[in-house]
Structures are given as C-alpha cells and as structure tokens.
Amino acid sequence: MPSLRLIVPALFALAVFGASGPASADSFTDAQRSDIEAIIKSYLVSHPEVLEDAMAELSKRQAAAEAQKHEASITQNADAIFNSPRQVVLGNKDGDVTFVEFFDYNCGYCKRAMTDMLDLMKADPKLKVVLKEFPVLSQGSVEAAQVAVAVRMQDPTGKKYLDFHQKLLGGRGQADKAHALAAAKEAGLDVAKIEKDIATPEVRATIEENFKLAEAMGMNGTPSYVIGKQIVVGAIGLDGLKEKIGVARCGKATC
C-alpha cells in the first residue's frame, strides 16, 4: 500500500491541480470541495491503517523536535547544569557521562529513583552524578532543601551529604526542617552550623538557580534528569536510565 506521504499529497494534488492546471482553494465550488472531502474520507475509511502511519509519523517528528529543543536548552545552560559550584557532585568527578537529577525530598517517585541512582553509581565507575534540590511539592520540601544546601556547604566532598540524603529521602513521613535536621545529625554534621547557614544568601541562591534551570528546560516535576544532551521528566526506572546513559556515552542504548 502506498505510504501516507504519497497518498495524501496525491489526493490534494489531484484536487488542486486537476487536469487543467493549478487552482487556488478559493476557486473550488462547494460541490467540488464536498467531492474532495468525500474522496479523502472514503480512502481513510477503507484504509484506516493509514491513520496509524500518520500518528506514528507525527510522534516521530514531535520527538525529534523535542530532542532538538532539549539539546539547545542544555547547550545554553551547560555550565550551570554540569559545573555549578552550588551543586552536589558524587561518583566519578571526572566521569565521561554526567547524570544530573532534580529532586524533591517529599517526592515518592524520587524515593524509588534514589535506589536507581545508587545502583548506577555502584555499577558504573565512569558515571558523574550531580544532585540539585528542586522543592516543588510543599513548604516542607523547601525547608528540607534549605537544610540540604547547608549540608552541602558544610561537606564539599559529598560523602556526608550522600548519607544525609539517603536518611532523609529514605525516611518515613513528610520531609521538613525538623526531619532534615535530624537526618543531618545522624549523618554526623554540625546542626548548629546548619541552622546558621540556612539563613545565608547562598542557600537562597542555590534553590533559585535550580528553579531557573528547571524552568529553562521545561521541567515541571520530580524526579527530572539531564543525561548528556537528553532531558528526562519523570521516573523511568533503572533500565530506562541505563539506556539514556548509553546513548550519552556511545550513541546507543548499550555500549
């Protein structure tokens, strides 16, 4: 069967050009327009699979356009995404692929995604992991993120931050300032210093930077990721993340 790309243009060409040369849409009579619509409708009813072809082609084009848009957005904001002094860096700091996650401490999907991140770090020694607080769900989320930024300021190596991160994100109940401070204390951090640092401009600037980046890249939920030149919004599971990392590393899902 001829493809949609050939069929529909051919139908319109027959209608517009006919046997007597080019014609404008305004030159058709109501009866002619009715005949054209009937021809197209008849064909589509007889060959409904053409609609599937059309939808597949539309999805393909939309995905390509979205990927191009994402790549441009990442290029424009690359330094802040991958190299900001305000972010937490884990894994291989000189890794060949950077895995950036925007998260909220009250996001249920982020709790499950944390396990995926830890598994990736264990299995992939060449992976650089960047964490960015993106508290979109509640005031408690904002409070927890403020404590998290203060933890990062106190622990530039990221080791205690990761311990704190696991305790708070993996804990029960809603995350807020009290729960975050308790997690920080368990992780061996100076809670009194955190209380002071929460009020500093650095904490506010960090969260504002993350929100601006998320907005620039069209992120409206958590978890969201930047992996190479790809933007992923939502939890896609360990296998899905591995595929994205593969594409970023060697251009295909499995290197």
Instruction: Tell me if 82 sits within 8 A of 100, measured CB to CB.
Output: yes
Residue 63 CA to residue 40 CA, distance in Å, equals 27
Q: H helices within the chain, ranges in order?
A: 4-17, 30-46, 49-76, 78-83, 108-123, 139-154, 159-169, 177-186, 191-197, 201-216, 237-250
Which of 218, 198, 196 minimizes the C-alpha distance to 206? 198
pLDDT, residue 41, reads 82
Mean pLDDT, the chain, rounded, equals 87
Domains present along the chain, CATH in parentheses: 4-69 (no CATH), 78-250 (3.40.30.10)
What is the share, in percent, of the chain residues with pLDDT greater than 90? 64
203: pLDDT confidence band, cut at 50, 70 and 90? very high
Report whether 191 contacts 184 (CB < 8 A): yes
Residues in the chain: 255
Closest CA to 220 of 114, 137, 127: 137
Name the band, by pLDDT with cuts 50, 70 and 90, for residue 4: very low
Of the ranges 1-10, 75-84, 119-128, which one carries the lowest mean pLDDT score?
A: 1-10
